Structure 1
Amino acid sequence: MKIKVLLVDDHAIVIEGLKAVLDGHEEIDICGEANNGEEALSILQGRNDINVVVLDINMPVMDGLTCAKRIKTSYPEIKIIILTMYAQKSFIEEMLKIGIDGSLLKSNTGKELKEAILRVSSGKSYYDLIQTFNENKNQITQYKLGDREIEVIKLLAEGLTSQQIAEKLFISENTVKTHRKNILRKTELHNTSQLVQFALNNALI
């Protein structure tokens, strides 16, 4: 019996890349695609044959970790593999708390993804690359975030508005909005809630 896999990523080109990686593998059947966590949960509600969900960690509408929590609550038998660009141990710690079965860096989704799917389907975990993950400081450096941008992330994570941040830092509100725009571009995140998760995962708050 083939392993039924649901692919979840907000970028069509990534979905196509994952399909190309898994195409032709006799033990794996890609049985669905979703663009975000909400779509994934909707698909799962209408089916009972999906064995593995491969989730991007950063997506609009509903991110991968939130989706994973809901899947594990409602469908504990389904195995979850998270794909992430973030090479850091704090993500692994959060994933283990949720009960996620495996994780791969997006740069390692060739042969490793097939191996990960086969392994989690057999009841084992796939975190073999954890030893290659960088610590938080290196991760922040990777995004080339300036000190002021990091300061803005921290304040956003505390729930402050752009106007409140401007007053606190003695800068204009437009400057804060420019910082927010640049931060989202550099981190490839979509909204403030994802920035909060980013701050948590990077020990900024």
Structure 2
Amino acid sequence: MPALSISIAIVDDHTLFRSGLASLLDEFDEIKVLFEGINGLDLQNKIKNHPDLQLILMDINMPVMDGYAATKWVKENYPNINILALSMLEDEKAIIGMLKAGAGGYMLKESTPIDLLNAIKAITEKGFYVNDLVSGRLLVALKDGDAKPIFSARELTFLQHCSSELTYREIADLMNVSPRTVDNYRESLFAKLNIKSRTGLVVYAIKNNLIKI
């Protein structure tokens, strides 16, 4: 039985790029392009007609309403829709700006089709996508200004269990979830905190009074 396709939208003011990308992604069985938009305002007008939309590929520099404003609006009004920034800009300001607005990942337009497909799959499954552009900068974005990492109740429960001697599989059993779900909790925390080990997570949790010892 084939896997369900991921419903996406492409928002970019360059018609040739947008249409070309839509045609390219339509070649993948895993992707279904619901609609295209030329800017954030166009997106606002079209999104209401597509309740099944799961992910938006969002350009940054667009007239009328740019990617920063459009991303913030989407996350405020449709928080369950994931956003993957897709831009020619490689500077840190653009990356952090989109992450702070609510994007779950950032890719360059020069990326290969298979890399883009993998990013779409990752962000749909986990809510974020980490690559060479984002890794190490996500923490900066979260720590900048008054912004602080936000943890789900399940992530905090997972953190508490991490301070024990339980294996990840045992933690999964205790939380009544699959080992893969526990892996997602771990990877999400690694990405949010720029930490790469279980010990690091526990130390952070203790220092920030997130768990009881």
Answer yes or no: is the 8 Å Cα contact 1:18–1:109 preserved in 2: no
Match in the other structure for 2:48? 45
The Cα of 1:99 is off from its aligned counterpart by 2.1
Correspondence for 1:60 among 29, 40, 63: 63
SS at match of 2:44: helix
1:59-138 mapped onto 2 (5 Å cutoff): 59-130=62-133
Query: What TM-score results when the alignment is normalised by the length of structure 2?
Result: 0.58
Match in the other structure for 2:162? none
Runs of 4+ in 1 over 2 A off after TM superposition: none
Rounded Cα–Cα distance in structure 2 between residues aligned with 1:109 and 1:59: 23
The Cα of 1:21 is off from its aligned counterpart by 2.8
Rounded Cα–Cα distance in structure 1 between residues aligned with 2:87 and 2:111: 10
Deviation string 1:32-71 (CA, Å, 9 cap, x unpaired) is 0111110111111222110001111111111011100000
* Number of aligned residues: 133
Aligned: 1:30 with 2:27 = no
SS at match of 1:107: coil
Q: What's the RMSD between the two structures over aligned residues?
A: 1.9
Rounded Cα–Cα distance in structure 2 between residues aligned with 1:129 and 1:30: 26
Rounded Cα–Cα distance in structure 2 between residues aligned with 1:48 and 1:121: 16
SS at match of 1:13: helix
| Greater relative contact order, per chain length (Cα 8 Å cut-off, separation 6+) | 1
Bigger helix fraction: 1
Query: What TM-score results when the alignment is normalised by the length of structure 1?
Result: 0.60
Gaps of 5+ in 2: 136-213
Task: Give the letter for the 2:90 counterpart.
Answer: A
Gaps of 5+ in 1: 133-205
Answer yes or no: is the 8 Å Cα contact 1:104–1:129 preserved in 2: no
- How much identity, in percent, do the aligned residues show? 34
